[in-house]
Amino acid sequence: MLALKDVGKTYPNGVHALERFSAEISPGEIIAIIGGSGCGKSTLLRAIAGLDRASTGSVTLDNAVITSPHAKIGIIFQEPRLLPWLSVADNIGFGLADLAADARGERVASALARVGLTDKASAWPRELSGGQAQRVAIARALVPQPEVLLLDEPFSALDAFTRRDLQDHLLDLWADTRPTLILVTHDVDEAVVLADRVLVMRPRPGRLFEQITINLARPRDRKSELFDTFKRRVLTALDRSLDRSVRDATDKSSAGEAMWW
Amino acid sequence: MAMTVDLPALEQTAAPRAAPARWSRFARPALGLLVPVVCALGWELVVYLGYSNGRLVPPPSKVFQTIVELAKSGELSRHILATLWRVGAGFALGVIAGTIMGAISGYWDFAKRLLDPTVQALRAIPSLAWVPLFVLWLGIFETSKVALIAVGVFFPIYLGVMGAILSVDRKIVEVGRVFRLSGPAMIRRILLPAVLPAYVVALRVGLGLGWMFVVAAELIGASEGLGYLLLDGQQLGKPAQILAAIVIFAILGKLTDWLIEVAAAPLLRWQDAFGAQGGQ
């Protein structure tokens, strides 16, 4: 159980990025955090990762208070952040330095096979496409078998087709060990495809605005009516979070708006 | 039917295209040699045909002959070894001091505030200005020469290492933090590989300055070394000897630079840069 209690963050320059954010997230749950820019999404994610300390409140994972990066919490950033001097295989095995070489090799080989990059094992990161590099980053984060995996707009730099592929692929990988996933995104479509629960945030200062539970069976059909209904609900909540004029929830014209920022 | 006719035609056009590609692989470096070789041959011809006596500017054959004579008498190897020893010792000292100081200043902000202004102020002094002081302090023999070379090598290494550490991508360092690397592991697994390309450049710049300063050191007062050959050639009016020493300096400088490049190449194969693509 990951518990966020009154998490707040004020940066040294006085920017009040996040205020009293509380949520309880069960093991294996998939959470999407969505909101306008400046709503503290990334701040929240970095606090959960232990990369930045919260100014107020606490993040606890199974009763352990998180103040620095934790072995059970992995993170995938917007950019792959592969180490350019390591081969693809060595990048994936980067977090397994404590393991004996043969055990590490086995884990890396199975992870490579799982993300479909076995033939790229000895390639350099610069030889990968954007989608392949992000797959390596996903494998690197999953190979130490984290209980919580944080994703900070992981697919936003990719083209629409690759993004869709990787969303499906991520769900597929998630099913292996079912870690908790917390995904920060700008993409309503992505939130509704992946998440059990969408947390809509409100900017200045960032705080939780609304929670929307997506009780759709997986795999989800992006073209179904029900899917559109959930998308509209998220879009409506987003509009309200920014005090925009509330659109009619049944208005078909907003349904095609896949990206939102 | 049309396709079976087309295919051989395609093969025919592809075959002669491979030949110019192979030719250009040799032609490209050869192109760089064209100007110096033509100049040398031209001057050789001018002297040979008697348009110039070649006394002040000896023809290449005379320079080559001087090198051979020096080599035969054993003089050449004595001078080369003396110079190489000085450059080697000075370079090693400069690299060690520059690497340690640069690493401390790059890694630790307090040390940078404390040390960097002083180092930068010292850097502003033309290094040759140290010569009288070094001679007074360290004597006129080897120590002062090695010290001068070490000073010349120190600054580019210091600046290179410090700058490289300061410019390591914060995002990459964060990857190390996420995997909870300890301080030493962070240095070994993230910082060292990240600064290596800039470090190799700093080493090459430092070595170049080492060669520059060995000449200065040997011109000041030496009884052996390539710099001494230069001075001896000037004082006794032997331009061929001066040119011979210059040619050997060029060869040794290029050779040692090449050694660093070759030694570092396997460590830098990962680089994704314009220069790493094989000089296209």
Q: Is the CB of A79 less than 8 angstroms away from the CB of B171? A: yes
The domains of chain B, with CATH numbers, are 17-52 (no CATH), 60-273 (1.10.3720.10)
Question: Across-strand partners of A58?
Answer: A5
Q: Is the CB of B193 less than 8 angstroms away from the CB of A83? A: yes
Is A227 within a domain? yes
Q: Which residue has the higher pLDDT, A49 or A252?
A: A49
d(CA B34, CA B42): 12
Is A132 within a domain? no
Is A180 within a domain? yes
Is A240 within a domain? yes
Supply the range of the domain harboring residue A49.
Answer: 2-80+153-254
Nearest CA in chain B to A84: B270
CB nearest to A81's CB, from B171, B185, B193 = B171
Is A216 within a domain? yes
Amino acid at B178: V
Which positions in chain B touch A70 (Cβ < 8 Å)?
Answer: 180
Is A110 within a domain? no
User: What does the pLDDT look like over B18-58, one tens digit per residue?
Assistant: 555 666 677 777 888 888 889 989 999 998 888 888 788 88
Give me the number of domains chain A comprises: 1
From A69's Cα to the closest Cα of chain B, the distance in A is: 5
Is A52 within a domain? yes
Which positions in chain A touch B190 (Cβ < 8 Å)?
Answer: 83
CB nearest to B179's CB, from A68, A95, A125 = A95
Which positions in chain A touch B175 (Cβ < 8 Å)?
Answer: 81, 83, 94
State the CATH number of the domain containing residue A217: 3.40.50.300
Q: What residues in chain A have their Cβ under 8 A from chain B's Cβ atoms?
A: 49, 51, 68-71, 74-75, 77, 79, 81, 83-86, 94-95, 97, 124-126
How many inter-chain contacts (A to B, CB under 8 Å) are there? 46
Q: Is the CB of A71 less than 8 angstroms away from the CB of B190? A: no
> Beta A2-10 vs A56-61: how paired, if at all?
antiparallel
Is A119 within a domain? no
Task: Output helix, strand, coil percentages for chain B, rounded to the nearest 5.
Answer: 85, 0, 15
d(CA B83, CA A29): 70
The ipTM value here is 0.82
Residues 6+ apart with CB under 8 A from B101: B115, B119, B154, B158
pLDDT, tens digit only, all 280 positions of chain B: 344 444 444 444 444 455 556 666 777 778 888 888 899 899 999 988 888 887 888 888 888 999 999 899 988 899 999 999 999 999 999 999 999 999 999 888 899 999 999 999 999 998 788 888 888 998 888 899 999 999 999 999 999 999 999 999 999 999 999 998 888 888 888 988 999 999 999 999 999 999 999 998 888 777 889 999 999 998 998 898 999 999 999 999 999 999 998 888 888 888 765 555 444 3
Q: How far is CA B276 from CA A85, B32, B280, in A?
A: 13, 20, 9
Which positions in chain B touch A125 (Cβ < 8 Å)?
Answer: 270, 272
Q: Is the CB of A84 less than 8 angstroms away from the CB of B185? A: no
Residues 6+ apart with CB under 8 A from B243: B58, B63, B66
- Sequential DSSP letters for B220-236: HS-SSSHHHHHHHHHHT
User: What does the pLDDT look like over A186-228, one tens digit per residue?
Assistant: 888 888 888 889 898 888 788 888 888 888 877 888 888 887 8
Q: Is the CB of A83 less than 8 angstroms away from the CB of B177? A: no
Nearest to B249 by CA among B213, B221, B201: B213
Q: Is the CB of A84 less than 8 angstroms away from the CB of B180? A: no
Q: What is the dihedral of CA A37, A40, A42, A46, to 10 degrees?
A: 170
From A81's Cα to the closest Cα of chain B, the distance in A is: 6
What was the pLDDT predicted at B147? Answer: 93
Q: Is the CB of A81 less than 8 angstroms away from the CB of B174? A: yes
d(CA A184, CA B222): 70
